[in-house]
């Protein structure tokens, strides 16, 4: 089963690939504009790598879109909805990030999520 984070990275990569093609840019040309490596950009486009905000901003600038647009297309940023909806989404994003961190054991992930939830419920 695919993790939600994987689907978001695939959506982000697909959007970047489509925008690059619409701009008639090769992967090599995008790499030159962003000063990122060809293989790294290829991994991002295939959803295999989670880019940092710095990289998202470089790509967005090269494709003449906002970083906000890239994040929205990936489902990482939502507009509209109530404060409760946004809070719920934010909670899912945090928990998904913790769950997807390969540096943590399952026990550590569970403990972090428990602490996170307990801190939210104390508000």
Q: Please check whether residues 67 and 96 belong to one and the same domain.
A: no
- Number of structural domains (the chain) is 2
Torsion of CA 47, 78, 57, 23, to 10 degrees: 70
pLDDT single digits (tens) 20-55: 998 899 999 999 999 999 999 999 999 898 888 899
Q: For the domain that residue 19 is a member of, what is the CATH number?
A: 1.10.260.40
Cβ-based burial of 14 (10 A; exposed 0-12, middle 13-18, buried ≥19): middle
User: Is residue 61 scored above 70 in pLDDT?
Assistant: yes
- 78 domain residue, yes or no: no
Q: In this predicted model, which residue has the larger pLDDT, 44 or 69?
A: 44
pTM for the whole thing? 0.60
69 & 11 share domain: yes
Q: Which two tokens stand for residue 91?
A: 């909670």
Is 32 within the bounds of a domain? yes
Q: Are residues 45 and 100 in the same domain?
A: no
Residues 67 and 9 in one domain: yes
Q: Please check whether residues 87 and 67 belong to one and the same domain.
A: no
Domain that holds residue 54: 4-73
């Amino acid at each position: 089963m695919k993790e939600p984070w994987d689907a978001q990275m695939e959506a982000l990569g697909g959007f970047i690939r489509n925008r690059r093609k619409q701009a008639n840019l090769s992967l090599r040309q995008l790499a030159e504009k962003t000063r990122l490596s060809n293989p790294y950009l290829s991994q991002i486009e295939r959803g295999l790598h989670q880019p940092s905000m710095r990289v998202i901003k470089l790509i967005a600038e090269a494709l003449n879109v906002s970083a906000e647009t890239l994040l929205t297309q990936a489902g990482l940023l939502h507009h509209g909805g109530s404060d409760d909806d946004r809070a719920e989404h934010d909670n899912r994003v945090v928990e998904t990030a913790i769950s997807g961190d390969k540096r943590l054991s399952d026990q550590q992930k569970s403990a972090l999520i428990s602490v996170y939830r307990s801190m939210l419920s104390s508000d």
